[in-house]
Structure 1
Amino acid sequence: MITFVFPGQGSQQKGMGADLFDQYPELTAKADHILGYSVKELCQDGERLHQTQFTQPALYIVNALWYLKKTEETGLKPDFAAGHSLGEYNALYAAGAFDFAEGLQLVKKRGELMSRASGGGMAAVIGLNHQQVTDVLREYQLHMIDIANINTPQQIVISGYKEGIEKAAAVFEAVKGVKMVHRLNVSGAFHSRYMSEAKKEFTHFIESLHFNPLSIPVISNVTARPYEQARIKETLAEQISGTVNWTDSIRFLMGRQDMSFEEIGPGKVLTGLIQRITAEAEPITEEAKAQAVTARPAIRAASLGNEEFKHDYQLTYAYLAGGMYRGIASKEMVVKLAKKDMMGFFGTGGLSIPQAEDAILSIQNELQHGGSFGINVVHNMKHTDSEEKMIDLLLKHGVINLEASAFLTVTSALVRFRAKGLKRGNDGKVIPRHRIIAKLSRPEVAEAFLSPAPEHLLQKLEAENKITSEEADLMREIPVAHDICVEADSGGHTDGGSAYSLMPAMLLLRDEIMKKYQYDKTIRVGAAGGIGTPEAAMAAFMLGADFILTGSINQCTVEAATSDKVKDLLQQMNVQDTAYAPAGDMFESGSKVQVLKKGLFFPTRAGKLHELYQRYSSLEEIDERTLTQIEQKYFKRSIRDVYEEVKARLTDEEMLKAERNPKHKMALVFKWYFRQSSSLAITGDPAAKVDYQIHCGPALGAFNQWVKGTELESWKNRRVDDIGCRLMEETASLLNKKINAFLETC
C-alpha cells in the first residue's frame, strides 16, 4: 500500500514548478484567472513567495500539478493521502473532494484570511515530546502559548503572540533535554486559538459549498484519522486553529499493512519527518488504538459545552461574561469578547436610558462585521416602568440577546421582548428572534422561566396591542427563557447557593419541563458563580453545564469600567475576603449582595443601616449618638442634606409617600448610602476608600492565586478576552490530564 503525502507552507522554493506550468498550460491559465496574477511569475519572486497569501495558492498549484504528472507518467494511484497543513487540500484534491479550480479558490481564501494574522510567532522545540512540552508550558505558566504542530515525536511547534513566543523560547532553551529552539519566520500564530477569527470567516465561506465523496481515505491533521464525509467542512475549518498532529497521522498509516510513503511536491521536508517518526514511534494498530489512551481524541477548548448553544449564538467557546452593575461590564469588554468568539453582556443596572443607548450604539458600530453580544437587564421590583423603557430601547435598536438578572418571576416586559418577531418556520416550528438567558438560583423561579408565558400576561399584552395575536399564540408554544444560567454563590446579588446541589436539581427540572411541554428545542443550562479557575470551570462542565458564565474575574481587568483603586484592591484579595451585605436596590426586603470586605467598612456599615431600619419606624426614633455617627462617619454630611439630594430625584407621588410614611423616608435616606458607595468606588474617590461598595465573589480570589507569579498577576495585563481563552484552554487541558490519569489506573 502507498500513501501520497503533500507538503505545506515552509516547503516553497524559488523557481518551483517551472517545468510544470508549461506542461499544463490550461490549468496554469485557469489558476492565473482565479488568482488575478501569474503563478509562474510568482514562483520566480522570492519575496512574495514567502508571504502567506501568495505561498499557499502557489504551493497548492505546484503540488496539484506534480500529482497529475506523477499519476499520468506512472499510472500509480495512492491507497491513502495526507498533507501537512496546507498540503491537506492537495490530499483532498487527490481524493476527488473538489476539482482543481474549487480547491484553489478554497486555498486562496484560506491564505488571505491567515495572512491577516499579525503580531504572532511560532517556534520549533526539538528534543522534547508532546507531553513534556505541555508540562513545561504548564509549569512556567505559559498559558497563552498553544501547541501548533506535532511534527515528530521529538519536534513540537509552539504558537502564540510574538512576545509570548520569545518568553517561551527562552524558557525552553534552558530546559534539560532540549536540543534546539528554532524560531520560525512567520507573521502569525498559525494553528492556535489566535486564528479563531480566520476560522470563523472561513467557516462562513465554505458553508454553502459541496464536497464530492472521497475516493480514497484522507488523513486529517486535526484527528489523525480518516476524514468523515459528513464533517469535511467542520474539519477543514478546525484545521486553521487546531493542532497539526502529523506524528499520529503517520503512526496511523504505519498501522496499515505494508505501508510506504511518497512525497508529492517540492522538497523532501515530509520525507525527513516520516523517517524520524518511523524510527522513533510505534504504529497505531487497531489493537493498540483500542487499548492506548492516546487513541482517545483530545478534548479541545472549542469542544467544551453544548454545540447547538455555540451555533445559535455564533460562538467558538461556550463562554459568557455576565453584565455587571452600572456599566462595569463595559462596552469595551463586550466588544473584546465578541471579537474572540465569546459573548459578554453590557451591564445596564443603575444606568439611565440615554447612557444605555449610547453604549448599545457604540457596541453595534464596533461589531458591524460580526460578533455576538447581549444586554443585561436587572429586575426593579418598585419601578417596573424602567424595565419597560429598557425593553423599548432593546427592541428599537434590534438587540436580540438579553441577560435577565435578579428576577423573582416572569414580567410583562420580558414576555414582550421574547414575543416580538416570533414566526413559524416551514417545518412548523416556532422561530424566536429574541433570546433571554435567565440567571437564577431558585427552582420556583427556574420553573417560571422554563414554562410558557403566563396566560394573563399574554392576554394583557395583546389587549394593549403590545404584541399581536399571532405572537401571543406562538408564545404559548415556547418557554420564556431561551436558556437559563444557574447562579451559585456569586458576587453581587446572591442566594449563596452551592453549584453541586443546584446544577443537578436544575437539570432534572429542565428535563421534566421539556417532557411536559414537548418543546421542539432543548433549553440549555449554564453555570455561573464561583468560576475563576480551570478546576472550577471543569467542575461546572462535569456537572452538565452547557456553557459557563463568569463575573467577578472580569471586574479586575483593563476593560472593566471601574476605578484603578478598586482594581488594585481586587488584585490583592483572596477567597476569604468577601462578605454578605444588604442589597441597596432591595434594601427593604433584606436581599443580600456579596461584596469585598478586605480593607473596607462598607459591609459592616451597610449591615448597621439595615439593622436600624428593621428596629425603628423613623429616623426620629434613633438615638442622637447613632445619628451623629452615621452623619460623620457614613454619610460625611447631614441627614437633612442627604434627604434634600434624594428628594431631587423623586416624583411628586414618591415624595408624598415619603412625607406620609416616616419608615419609607428612612429607607430612602439609608439607600442613598448604597448608591453613593457604588459611585465612590467607580470614580475611585481616594478620600472615601473605606466606603467603597465592590460587588465580588470568591472566584476572583481563586483566580488571583491561579495567576500569581505570571504576567496576569497585575490587573494591568488582564484582558477580558485573554482570560476567557486561557480559562477555556486550561480547562480542556486539565480535563485531558485528569481523564488520562484515570484511564491509566483502570
Structure 2
Amino acid sequence: MKAWLFQGQGSQRKGMGAALFARFPALVAEADAVLGYSIERLCLEDPEQQLNLTTFTQPAIYVVSWLGYLAAREDGVVASVAAGHSVGEYAALTAAGALDFSLGLRIVIERARLMAQVQGGGLVAVLGQDRQRVQALLDERPDAGLAIANINSPTQIIVGGTLAALEQLLEHCTAQGIRAIALKVSGPFHTAHMAAVEQPFRDFLHRMSGAFREPALPVIANVHARPHTRDGLVEALSTHLTHPVQWQQVVERMLAEGVEDFVEIGQPAILGGMLKAIREQPAIERSNAPTRPVLVIAPDAPVLLSELARHGAMGLIDSHGLDKKQLKARVLRLSAEPQVCGRFGIRLHGRADPALIDWLAGQTLACIEVPAHWQPLRERCPGVRWQVRVECIDELEADADALVIAADTHLPLLLAALARRKPCGPKIGASGLIGSPASAQAMFDMGVDFVVCGSVFLLGSEAGLPVERQQQLAGMTQAEHRPLTDWRYPEFASRTPGYVLDSLRNEQAEALQAFYLSDSGGDQAALRDRLGDAANPATQATCARRALQAHMLAGLNQWQQPGDTSLWLFNHWRQRCRPELPIPMPTEQLLNLLCPPLCPSRTTP
C-alpha cells in the first residue's frame, strides 16, 4: 500500500514548482485570482523577498503541493492514504476531496495571516534526543514557557517559545553537548503561544465548514494521528495551531495499517530522513507501541509491566480504588522505572475529571482508557492515545484510537463493531472470556485487532503476589466469581467483579454494608459494638459511616481479589487440558499460551 506525503513550512525555496506552472495554467490563474498576486512570480523570482514570510510561504507550499500531486496522478501514481506535515495537511485534505482547491487555498491564506500575527517567538530543533529527554530539558526550566511543537522522529524534536527562552535553551544544549538549531520561522507555531489566534481560526473554519466533504481516502491528522472526518475538521485544524505536530505518530499509524511505500510531493524530498529514523527504530520502541496484540489489566508491579513490554504486550494500570493523589503517585513511581516508562497505560473509571486528564496527558503514558461518556475530554488532549470502553451501539462512533468491548456481556455489540469497521478507523479489542488459548484465538478468528486480558496474569511469576495467594487463586472457579462489595461508594452499595478468598469475612463485609445503609449506620456506639476489638479509637471523633468505610477499605484485599472472568476460565482450561502447568508460571509462558507471537491479527493496539 502507498501513501501520499505533503511537505510543510520549511520546504519553500526559490524556483519551487518550476516544472508545474506551465503544465496547469488554469489552476495557476485560479490561484492568482484568489491570492491577488502571481504565484508563479513569487515562487520562481521572489523579487520582493517574500517567499520566506509565513503569509506568503504557506499559500505557496499549498499551491505547489497541489500541482505536484496532480502531476503525479497524471503520471500514473496512485496511493490509498495521505498525510501532510503541518500546512501540508491542507493539500492532503484536498487530495482526499475533503476540500476543493479554491476553498483549501482560502483557508491556508487565513491560517497564514493569523499565524503571522504571533510575533516574538520561534522554534528550535533538538537533534539526536528522544521526546522524553527533550521534555526533561524543558522541565528543568518550567518558567521559561517552552513547549514541544513537533515530534518529527525519534531523534528530531522541535521546541517553541519566546526568542529569549529559546536562546537560553540553545546555550544549555551546547553546554551539554546536545545538537540544537534555531529554525527560520516567524513564530512559536503549534504551541500554547498561538492561543490568541486559535479561536479566530476556528470561527473562520466554522463559516467555511458547509463546503467540507467527507474524505474519500484516509487523511491521518497531525494533531492526533487518526483519520480526519468531515465533522471533526473544524476542531482538529483549529486545535492544531496550539498543539504539536505528531508526525512520528502519523507515520507509525500508516506503517501499522500496512503502508509500505511513501510518495512525497515536493522537491527536494525533505521528509525522507524522518521516515528513515521512524522505520529504523526497534519495533517495541515505536511510540512504545506493543508488537503483540495483547493488553493486560495488570497489578502495580514494575517487574510485570517490564516483562509484558519485553515480550511485546502492554500493561494497563487500573485506577479502581485509587484516589487522585494515589493515582498520580503510582504513575510517577512507575514512570521513574526506565524499563517501564512509556510502556504502560492507565484505565480510568467513574466521572470525567478534566484536571486529572490534563495531568495524565503530560505524562509519558502509552495510552489512556476511559468510558465512552468521557468523550468530550478528547478535545482537551488530542495528542493522547485514547482507548474507549463501549457498552451500547451509539458509542461505536466514539472518536478514539481503539474501542474495547466486553465479549462476555456485549457479544452482539462486538459483532456490530466488527461489521462497521472502516479502513484506518479505530482498532477493535475484545475483553472478557480471554482465559484460554482457544478463547483468545476465537476472538482473533472473529476479526478483533487485540484482546484485553485481566486477572489471569495474577498467576504470573512477576505479578508481585505471595505464592500462597497465587495458588489459592489458581483454584478459583466460576462459583467464586461474583460482584463484591468494594466500599468505594458504600452509600450506593457499589460492587466490583472479583473472587472471594475468605467466605466468612465476605459475609461479614456484606453484613456491615447492610449496617452502613441502616438507620444505625451513623451511630458510633453501634459501630464499635459491630467492630469489637477491631474498632479504631479514631471512630469516637469521626463520623461513624466514614470510619466504617475507612476500616473496610483497609482490609478488603485480605478476603477478596478484584478480577474478571479470565482467571476462572483459565483455571478451568488448565485443569482439563494442562494440569502440569506450574503456579505461579512465567509471564512469558502465559503470554505465549494465550497469544503466541505469530497470533493472527490485523494490527496491534
TM-score calculated relative to the size of structure 1: 0.39
Please identify which structure carries the higher helix content. Answer: 1
Larger RCO, structures 1/2 (Cα 8 Å, 6+ apart): 2
